[in-house]
Amino acid sequence: MPAPDYDSDGSRRGSRLSDVADYRAAARRRLPDFLFEYIDGGSYGENTLAANVADMAALTLRQRVLRDVSTLQMQTEVFGQTLSMPVVLSPVGLAGMYARRGEAQAARAAKAAGVPFSLSTVGVCTIGEVAAAATPPWFQLYMIKDRGFMAELLATARQAACPVLLFTVDLPVPGSRYRDARNGLNVASPAARLRQAIDGLAHPDWFWDVLVRGGPQSLGNIAAASTDLGALQEYMGWIGRNFDPSVTWKDIDWVRERWPGPLVLKGVLDAEDARAARACGVDGLVVSNHGGRQLDGAPSSVAALPAIVEAVGDDLTVLMDGGVRSGLDVLKALALGAKACLIGRAWAYALGAGGEAGVSGMLAILRQELRLAMSLTGCLDVREAGRSLLTD
Ligand SMILES: Cc1cc2nc3c(=O)[nH]c(=O)nc-3n(C[C@H](O)[C@H](O)[C@H](O)COP(=O)(O)O)c2cc1C
């Protein structure tokens, strides 16, 4: 069901939400501050987060004219799946805290738009709940220390027919996210819990939708392995204690033995690592710095992308994420060699702003922006987007 203040096309009654920045502003109003900051923030000085956006903005598209743009091909194929446009919803943790059963809502919006939804290991909804609500999601794997549990989780994803496994490799330890630290997301402190409770009560729509009607609020996929997690609000601290920092390239073999389908490493930023990934036999990469939430000072995704495409683009499917806030950004990333873009904050803001209808509205905006960008650059087919779409 669309949230009450949304029309069926996802636009907000009375005041239209026209771009991702509008969804961000709407999410800021609706969500408790500690949750908005969790979505919005990055690590340390947030320089990489800013660079993801700024470097994307600095790329200039070539305006071309008189090219008969009446028919555009926006579909593409990734890992045997047809995407209605080259966009995938990135795995985002705790989405079920932004809106009631948020992962299920976003997955429904993604299905309606014809694009894949990726479910985080640390999502609130389970793989089964998302599959029942929409379709089996791409599943994102974090390696936690309990390998027996990890093997079971992979078996669950396989049995649910998840079409792609995204193995996130840029978070052996959580980045230092100072906004979360200030909001008490990494400590089990009664004072922080009280502040968060007051924050929640000050946002009654969210409180009613998520806390009253949206339970259970647990990490659905790993609930059995996270019984020591008191409340989701303390979960950054739990991650620090339970994620496995000893992961190496050898563990790719361990995953591979348990996952016969497309295996994609998410969080590769270096061409040498990309070549190592190819040697391990993975099927694809997501060029990503985790949305600027891990190593601050790392290059932006869009700056790292060309060297990785050059190193392994003929052999592996190279996707990217980080800083994609519009359909124009999608086209820029394709121009630099990505086969498709993942979007993180764009859908997280939209979900927080308006649930399923919000995500549908945001995806419709992205599609329209991509269509216009293709029309005005004379790009007739997303599969043929290349360097010639950029000015230099
Ligand atoms: C609130 C939030 C939670 C995230 N949680 C996860 C996660 O659980 N697993 C993961 O692989 N990446 C996670 N990411 C990273 C995203 O998948 C993606 O790499 C990043 O958001 C892309 O940058 P963008 O937000 O600029 O689009 C998260 C990002 C955000 C903003």
CATH of the domain at 299: 3.20.20.70
pLDDT of residue 14: 45
In a domain, 60, yes or no: yes
In a domain, 390, yes or no: no
Q: For residues 367-384, give the mean pLDDT.
A: 98
Query: Using 50, 70 and 90 to split pLDDT, how confident is the model at 219?
Result: confident
What's the domain count of the chain?
Answer: 1
Question: Which residue, judged by its Cα, is nearest atom 11 of ligand 1?
Answer: 168
C-alpha span between 294 and 177 (Å, rounded): 8
Compare 321 and 13 and report the one with higher pLDDT: 321
- Report if pTM > 0.85: yes
- The pair phi, psi for residue 218, each rounded to 5°, is -135, 170
In a domain, 3, yes or no: no
In a domain, 378, yes or no: yes
Query: pLDDT averaged over the chain?
Result: 93
Q: What is the DSSP letter of 4?
A: T
* Cα 17 to middle of ligand 1, angstroms: 22
pLDDT of residue 205: 96
pLDDT of residue 127: 97
In a domain, 12, yes or no: no
- Among 239-253, 270-284, 340-354, which is the least confidently predicted range? 239-253
In a domain, 188, yes or no: yes
In a domain, 15, yes or no: no
Q: At what angle do helices 301-312 and 271-279 cross, to 10 degrees?
A: 40
Q: Which atom of ligand 1 is nearest to the CA of 170?
A: 11
Which residues form the domain of 197? 20-385
- Among 19-33, 173-187, 231-245, which is the least confidently predicted range? 231-245
In a domain, 247, yes or no: yes
Q: Is 389 in the pocket of ligand 1 (CB under 6 A)?
A: no
- Among 3-17, 152-166, 317-331, which is the least confidently predicted range? 3-17
C-alpha span between 40 and 252 (Å, rounded): 31
* Cα 39 to middle of ligand 1, angstroms: 8
Residue 153 has pLDDT above 80, yes or no: yes
Residue 242 has pLDDT above 60, yes or no: yes
**Minimal CA–CA distance to 329: which of 316, 342, 347, 313?**
342
